[in-house]
Amino acid sequence: MSERIISTGRPELRHDVRITDTTLRDGSHAMAHQFTEQQVRDTVRALDQAGVEVIEVTHGDGLGGSSFNYGFSHTDEMTLIAAAREEARQAKIAVLLVPGIGTVEDLKRARDAGADMVRVATHCTEADVSPQHFAAARELGMETVGFLMMAHRTPPENLAKQARIMVDAGCQAPYVTDSAGALLMHEAKARFEALVAEVGDEAWVGYHGHQNMSMGVANSVLAYEAGVRYIDGSLCALGAGSGNSPTEVLAAVFDRLNIDTGLDVLGLLTAAEEVVRPYLHRWPKMDRNAIVQGWAGVYSSFLLHAERAAERYKVPAHEILARCGELGLVGGQEDMIIDVAIQLAAEREQGS
């Protein structure tokens, strides 16, 4: 248990639920990190005009992610953050930071470029690596969110203990982060309730879903009913694996439920159809590979890496992903995908 170092307080909510759009961060995975500055400007402008309160902009693996291991960005992320800040009139600009990939120095540079919020992401059992990053962010005057990634990999009570570590360190909103899109409805509900019971009087609780098992939107509704007030989406579901809960669908569903998001549903539908869809070279979908990720509990960003390895080593991508699930690989172990592909190719050779 970390020592409580700061009293954060919960930011005031402007609406019943606060939707964060991750098109320009999680969507970076589906775009192979090739966002251009113009695409970022156009997308931020459309999201901002539609009332989205938080827009996340970084490499898919967060600050410092542009590398041989994770994939190089088309445009430096600091340039993209600065462009997003110039375009946003009311929205906050958020960045992702994964300790071990991004550093406090990266965070300072992002703040100077115009970032208002940092979302610090750790594996669901490793929140103890995050306190220095939360402390640095609060010193910089940034709003803080904590991602407990691969939330299906630990029981609800343990996930709540990890959320407590983050909140005690300065996190204003710990998230149930379903990185594999693996959580079924009852599993997600139990985690939402556990976090709200543990930290709900001190911090907001959030939910970040993926569509690998087609549960993202349904789980978002369950999240709200359990007291979760920060919920993530992406236009056109653009994100790793089969993508995230579509922002435009979330807006429409919550509107039908008379839950105030402050979002312009028709504006988001236009943003999805006329801004994002034209630059998509890959529309996330629930195909065999993506479904295997949810079924086997595999980190969603492994998808493109597995498909590239499959082509190189002549083994099916879904077999690579299933083996990654068997091995329990987590985010940050993308380099192991090559080892898995080589092993499967050798097994095929021996069996022929």
Are 35 and 28 a contacting pair, CB within 8 Å? yes
CA distance 165 to 130: 9
Question: Are 48 and 90 within 8 A, CB to CB?
Answer: yes
Model pLDDT, residue 4: 35
Cβ atoms of residues 243 and 215 within 8 Å? no
Q: Are 249 and 221 in contact (CB under 8 A)?
A: no
Which pLDDT does position 5 carry in this prediction? Answer: 38
Q: Is 26 annotated as a binding residue?
A: yes
**Helix, strand or coil for residue 187?**
helix
Instruction: Please give the pLDDT value at position 8.
Output: 54
As annotated, the active-site residues are: 29
Topology given in CATH for the domain delimited by 301-351: Helicase, Ruva Protein; domain 3 (1.10.8)
Question: Pick the residue with more confidence: 67 or 1?
Answer: 67
pLDDT of residue 1: 30
3-state secondary structure of 261: coil
The pLDDT of 235-240, averaged and rounded, is: 95
pLDDT at 351 over 90: no
pLDDT of residue 352: 63
Which residues have CB under 8 Å from 243's CB, separation 6+? 27, 30, 210, 211, 234, 236, 237, 284, 285
Beta strands in the chain, from DSSP E residues, in sequence order? 18-24, 54-57, 92-97, 117-123, 143-149, 174-177, 206-208, 230-233
Question: Which of 45-59, 293-307, 312-326 comes out lowest in average pLDDT?
Answer: 293-307
Find residue 210's DSSP bridge partners: 244
Is the confidence at residue 270, as pLDDT, over 80?
Answer: yes
**Percent of the chain topping pLDDT 70:** 97
**Residue 229 above 70 pLDDT?**
yes
Q: Cα–Cα distance between 347 and 211 in angstroms, integer?
A: 31
Whole-number Å distance between alpha carbons of 247 and 273: 12
> Tens of pLDDT along 175-190?
999 999 999 999 999 9
Given this model, what pLDDT does residue 320 score? Answer: 93
pLDDT in tens, 89-110: 999 999 999 999 999 999 999 9
Distance (Å, whole) CA 41 – CA 336: 35
Q: What percent of the chain shows pLDDT beyond 90?
A: 85
Residue 69 is predicted with a pLDDT of: 75
Domain 18-279: CATH superfamily, name plus number:
Aldolase class I (3.20.20.70)
Query: Is 299 assigned to a binding site?
Result: yes
pLDDT at 348 over 90: no
Domain ranges of the chain: 18-279, 301-351
User: What per-residue confidence (pLDDT) applies to 55?
Assistant: 98
Distances in Å between the alpha carbon of 305 and those of 62, 120, 123? 17, 23, 19
pLDDT at position 9: 76
> Band of the pLDDT at 299, cuts 50, 70, 90?
confident
Q: In this structure, what are the phi and psi dihedrals at residue 21, rounded to the nearest 5 degrees?
A: -100, 130
pLDDT of residue 285: 86
